[in-house]
């Protein structure tokens, strides 16, 4: 039976750190607020924007306006300032030979699609679930459950999720599929080992391990 492999985006397939940090800086400046350190922004990447702004000190009644300003800037610069991680393109093409593929991300799905089209990879994915497609983002299982439902998956035992944070792994486990971690993103190997024993240096190494499993 053909495998199903789902991918996170930031830190797994792409590096859009520069675009994310710049968009936060521009947003804080637009509202006349003290700009946070890049390191303080980066430590929250992977969470929804609403959660990130709250963690950076924005009051609840101002978060929606900040998110809207962030998206306005991010949309303009994301293609220019996002790159594929090493071996990501090779990994996706390898995966496509062995599995049906999908993307499950907390990024805005419409922007994610534009990025993947720009980077030449969107054609390989049969489903893309973004933040606007679900009520509860990762680590809740809803995004993964929606992806596998859209793919009409019959057997979860052949489903895998590859991500760079424990949120990805926890979402996979709660959805009843296998979570595999990579250290190419925003969590350390030690942090990832707390949620899965399957930790690899990058997405190609993770894919090579998955496709050899029976």
Percent of the chain with pLDDT over 70: 99
What phi and psi, each to the nearest 5 degrees, are found at residue 32?
70, 30
Instruction: Identify the pLDDT of residue 25.
Output: 98
Which residues are CB-neighbours of 154 under 8 A, at least 6 positions away?
A: none
Token pair recorded at residue 29: 């400046």
Please give the average per-residue pLDDT across 18-32, as a whole number. Answer: 97
Q: How far apart are CA 48 and CA 177, in angstroms?
A: 22
Q: Please identify every residue annotated as catalytic.
A: 8
pLDDT at 212 exceeding the cut of 90: no
Structure letter (DSSP) for residue 37: P
CB atoms within 10 A of CB 192: 25
Quick one: which of 15, 6, 2 has its CA closest to 138? 6
Instruction: Identify the pLDDT of residue 170.
Output: 97
pLDDT tens, residue by residue, 49-101: 999 999 999 999 999 999 999 999 999 999 999 999 999 999 999 999 999 99
pLDDT at 115 exceeding the cut of 90: yes
Residue whose pair of structure tokens reads 């993964």 in the numeric block: 144
Give yes or no for a cis peptide into 170 (omega within 30° of 0): no
Instruction: Identify the pLDDT of residue 44.
Output: 94
Instruction: Identify the pLDDT of residue 213.
Output: 78
Domains and CATH numbers, the chain: 3-15+82-211 (3.40.50.1000), 17-77 (1.10.150.240)
Entry field: residues in the chain = 214
Instruction: Identify the pLDDT of residue 155.
Output: 85
Instruction: Identify the pLDDT of residue 86.
Output: 95
pLDDT at 214 exceeding the cut of 70: no
Q: Are strands 3-7 and 159-163 parallel, antiparallel or unpaired?
A: parallel
Instruction: Identify the pLDDT of residue 154.
Output: 84
pLDDT at 47 exceeding the cut of 70: yes
pLDDT tens, residue by residue, 138-188: 999 999 999 999 999 988 989 999 999 999 999 999 999 999 999 999 999
């Amino acid at each position: 039976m053909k495998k199903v492999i789902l991918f996170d985006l930031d830190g797994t397939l792409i590096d859009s750190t520069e675009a994310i940090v710049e968009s936060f800086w521009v947003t804080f400046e637009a509202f006349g607020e003290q700009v946070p350190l890049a390191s303080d922004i980066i430590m929250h990447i992977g969470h929804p924007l609403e959660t990130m702004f709250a963690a950076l000190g924005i009051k609840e009644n101002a978060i929606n306006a900040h998110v809207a300003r962030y998206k306005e800037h991010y949309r303009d610069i994301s293609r220019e300032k996002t790159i594929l991680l090493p071996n990501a393109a090779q990994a996706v093409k390898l995966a496509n030979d062995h599995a049906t593929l999908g993307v499950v991300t907390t990024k805005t799905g419409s922007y994610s699609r534009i990025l993947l089209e720009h980077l030449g990879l969107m054609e390989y994915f049969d489903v893309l679930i973004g933040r606007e497609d679900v009520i509860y983002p990762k680590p809740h299982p809803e995004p993964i459950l929606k992806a596998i439902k859209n793919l009409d998956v019959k057997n979860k035992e052949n489903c895998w999720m590859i991500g760079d944070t424990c949120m990805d792994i926890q979402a996979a486990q709660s959805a009843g599929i296998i979570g595999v971690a990579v250290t190419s993103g925003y969590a350390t190997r030690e942090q990832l080992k707390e949620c899965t024993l399957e930790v690899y240096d990058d997405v190609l190494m993770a894919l090579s391990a998955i496709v050899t499993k029976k």
